[in-house]
Chains A and B, each alone.
Chain A
Amino acid sequence: MRRWLGPLLWAIGLAVALVDIAASWRLQSGVGVFLTDEGGLTERVLTRQLREQGLSGLIFILLGEAGDAPAPQVVEKLRERLAASPLFRLVASGVDSSLLGDIEPLFRYRYLLSDRTANGLFTQQRLTAAFRDLARQLQDPAAFVEETRAAADPTGELRYLLQRWFGGRDDGGGGRWLTADGRAVVVALAAAPAYELDAQQQALATIDETVAALDENVEATVTGAPAIAVATQETIRGEVTRISLYAAAGVVALLLLVLRSPRGLLLTVLPVITAIAAGVLAVLGVFGGIHGITLGFGATLLGIAVDYPLHLLGHGGSAGARRRIAKPLLLGSGSTMLGFAAMALSGIEGLQQLAVFAIAGLAAAVLTTLTVLPALTGDPVAMPWPTSWPTKRLKRAGLWAFVVLAGLLLGGGLWASQRVALEADLTALSPIPPELARADTKVREALGLPQPRHVVLVHGLKREPVLAATERVSTGLDTLARQGALDRHEAVTQFVPSAATQRARQQALPKRATLAARVDTAVAGLPLRTAAFEPFLADVAASRGLAPLAPGDLDGGALGVWLSDLLVQVEGRWVSLLRLGGLRQPQALEALRRQGGPMATVQPLDLRTETETLVARYQASAIRHSLAGAGLIVVLLAFSLRHTVAVGRIVVIMAGGVGAALVALAVSGAQLSLFHLASLLLVAGLALDYGLFTRGGRRGVASTTVCAASTVIAFAALATASTPVLHDIGTTVMTGVIAAWLLAMLATPTRRAS
């Protein structure tokens, strides 16, 4: 009965883990998780921007083909149908109420939001001109003046604000959005948060179905961060499924050939399943989500967990076998875990995820192999093939071959380490299919949405001084634009100014009697009824008593989304982002630093340079941590084996494997990313296992050979991935494993191998 206790507890644990995973599943795809949360505010803001992929859960639907937008009623039909769905919070096809949400707050606050209020809007001269213009429009049947609104807003302040905010983004008539190449645009915001990919997928499917259900045959291109995230998830799911199938088929064929026992095959799979479940559960538990690359790479990485049962079976599978393999297994897996533990200290969430995944998975695999499998193996499982031929043939090559090969690989590794450049382009880490990223860029360009490379950050502890400094910087940028240093900029205060500015505008509003007298004068001689403009007098008087509007007060509609991206709160600090377009003289921005004042800091940033610097710094940190991990492994080995030659042999095998992997990287032209570093650590871990187990005589050599073959098959499958980083990792690890195995075989201790 005691024999079954382990398997029983294991089965219960696995079932609970799977249920827990299903309940807390959340797949991530942004590249920001590969940046650290440590460091200065700039880094944290950058990280936040990259994590959340800028503006947004906005979905962009482009309708028609270039120069051939569908009829307006078709666009409107689509907008209405989508707006009727509870899946969407916002659907807009132009500057209208669907875009702006409730228009009333904007109308009520028009005099506090308009820069014209304090710039002579209420002078007699301007009022006279405004009323003359209004009279002309009212007499023009084609002007379509809204009379109720005109009575309250004869200067057209709301129209002025909308034109100023969105003027560059519509078709010039305050109507529908069109791209530069003449396609209609509908913008949608799903009701669910952007990171809830299943809900986003449902929203995207609804868009597809609604477009297909339109009577007219309309071409539609859907893009935006949610579309990219969902497509990425699908790509990763597809890749993982395909790679897993290839790898599983290859490894199963190999194991059937070697073990010639379905039961043996089943036993080798159990630790792998347990490892993946434990890895996913641990990452979800610690980080609240798992990145697509962590999952894809991590699952493959845990394919090495198949090595553990193979060693057990290779040694007969019994309790005796467990005793024989326990020490090298614990030493090997412990060392690998130690290496990953060093990686976990890097402060980079993506690497931390990988480390947690690997450590939890490897621990679960070792535990399953040592405590569950021996109870299930029953009769010893034979491993009749291959046992002797590789060893015998390689042994004949002798020690000199080991020395020559090791020398070549170490030399090659040194050469390659000088040639392999660090990957500074963060997007290289992204699993986003390149064609989708390109399509998104084109849409953003067409819509005039910012592609922020250059920004100015204004930050401080209190919102009001930050907004005030933002206004000063914004004024400076206007001056620079007039001098030709840049084309345009976007700042939160262009929409909602600081409270001080709003109060100053209130001060500029004339008193009721003064305004009434000016209106009388303005209307004199025009065919207008003075009394009809009582709503105007009342609204101006009411504006004088309004509490200033805050950016967060405009929550509904796309304007709220826009503003929440331009003014953010990062760990207690208010950060205002001014996005710059068409910057020609970056050095001109330096003068803006003086605009910060005592309560706010102004920082012009080139996001690309900053990001590259950040990535380079994180990679340097990752390399340091990897080297520290390798050092720890050597210390652990020395402590456990207490034999200089044995330790030296294993270190050379590890270094040779890593050297070969580096050569493969250099030859392929790939640049060293954080994932490549993790792969090199994996190669070191595998090489360590090979070195350790080939010390265990004929059975160890045989099981190591099968392990190496299965790993090569798994990573060959990974090398077929279309995601560049997964492909590179497949090639790298495969090469490193072959080299490490060769070295281990060449240097198998004679006495034990015979």
Chain B
Amino acid sequence: MVAVVAAADDGSLTLEGLLSRLALDEPAEVVRYRETRRSGLLTQSVVVSGELRLARNGDIRQRWKGDGGPVTVRVVGDDVTVERPQGTKRFRLDQAGSLAPVVEALRAVAAGDMQALKTGFRTRLSGNADRWTLTLSPRQRSSGVGVAGSPSERRQSTKLTLRGRQRLQRLTFESGERTIEIEIVGSAR
């Protein structure tokens, strides 16, 4: 039913149809992922694998095993909590640099919320129902930028690219010389 809605009569893909397909049916979904980070400051990529829980209400939980033990990042509203064996740290989402647009995009997709997506990003959809690419360019934010976000960083061109087939498979965040690629490798269940 979902797949049928995703395709228009002529077989092309619409954003509305794609969002309907990607929206969570369940209150929450847990997937396994692999994250690859490339930085202009680092000579080599950083790869971590873990578990991502995405809830329809927008709550996000990310878990992986770090050097010092398990790390859990929770995003509830604009509140980010990082839990490590050494202690817990809390801060605002807008102080988490690259995390904010990724969270915004994931939330819109999980909720199938077209309006939120359009408000936060300029969108471009290409491909077809079986292999699609959704490019999101964050719109200029008027407020809520924390001290962690330097003006020069804010001026850099930032882009999110979502790719998939029946489901979301890959999310790429690019900002300046930094790239974060999150690949969904399967269900955690």
Contact = CB atoms under 8 A, between A and B. Distances in A.
Interface of A: 71-73, 76, 80, 83, 94-98, 100, 103-104, 107, 134-135, 138-142, 144-152, 158, 162, 171-176, 527-529, 532-533
B122 interface: no
Contacts of A174: 91, 95, 146-148
Nearest to A154: B41
B176 A146 contact: no
B118 interface: no
Given A149-B153, A528-B41, A141 B46 contact: yes
B147 A138 contact: no
Interface string B44-56: 1010100000000
A83 B40 CA distance: 36
Given A71-B79, A141-B46, A147 B148 contact: no
A207 B119 CA distance: 27
A173 B150 CA distance: 18
B130 interface: no
B97 interface: yes
A72 B91 CA distance: 10
28 contacts: A71-B77, A72-B76, A72-B77, A83-B143, A94-B92, A96-B92, A96-B94, A96-B146, A98-B143, A103-B147, A103-B151, A138-B42, A138-B46, A142-B71, A142-B84, A144-B97, A147-B97, A148-B156, A148-B176, A149-B152, A150-B41, A173-B89, A173-B90, A174-B148, A175-B90, A175-B91, A175-B95, A527-B43
B113 interface: no
B59 to A, nearest CB: 12
B144 A80 contact: yes
Interface string B65-95: 0110001010011110010100001111011
Contacts of B35: 141
Given A72-B92, A151-B41, A162 B147 contact: yes
A529 B42 contact: yes
A315 to B, nearest CB: 73
Contacts of A71: 76-77, 79
Interface string B129-158: 000000000000001111111111100100
A133 B120 CA distance: 34
A527 B148 CA distance: 23
B99 interface: yes
A494 B78 CA distance: 32
Nearest to B64: A141
A73 B77 contact: yes
Nearest to A171: B90
B78 A528 contact: no
Best-surrounded residue of A138, A147, A528 (most CB of chain B within 10 A) = A147
B167 interface: no
Given A104-B151, A172-B90, A528-B43, A142 B156 contact: no
A139 B46 contact: yes
Contacts of B152: 148-149
Closest 9 CB pairs of A and B: A73-B77, A148-B153, A173-B91, A72-B79, A144-B96, A149-B150, A173-B90, A175-B91, A96-B146
Given A96-B92, A146-B97, A76 B41 contact: no
A231 B14 CA distance: 58
A140 B69 CA distance: 12
Contacts of B153: 146-149
B39 A138 contact: yes
B178 interface: yes
A150 B40 CA distance: 11
Contacts of A73: 77-79
Contacts of B172: none
B37 A141 contact: yes
B123 interface: no
Contacts of B128: none
B41 A80 contact: no
B189 to A, nearest CB: 24
B109 to A, nearest CB: 19
A134 B39 CA distance: 12
Best-surrounded residue of A94, A140, A528, A533 (most CB of chain B within 10 A) = A140
B82 A148 contact: no
Nearest to B146: A96
Contact of A107 (B90, B146, B150, B177): B150
Nearest to A75: B78
Best-surrounded residue of B41, B44, B78, B79 (most CB of chain A within 10 A) = B41
Contact of B42 (A104, A152, A528): A528
B147 A95 contact: yes
A529 B96 CA distance: 23
B98 A144 contact: yes
Contacts of A97: 145-147
A291 B131 CA distance: 75
B66 A142 contact: yes
A158 B146 CA distance: 13
Given A144-B96, A149-B153, A527 B144 contact: no
Contact of B40 (A144, A175, A532): A532
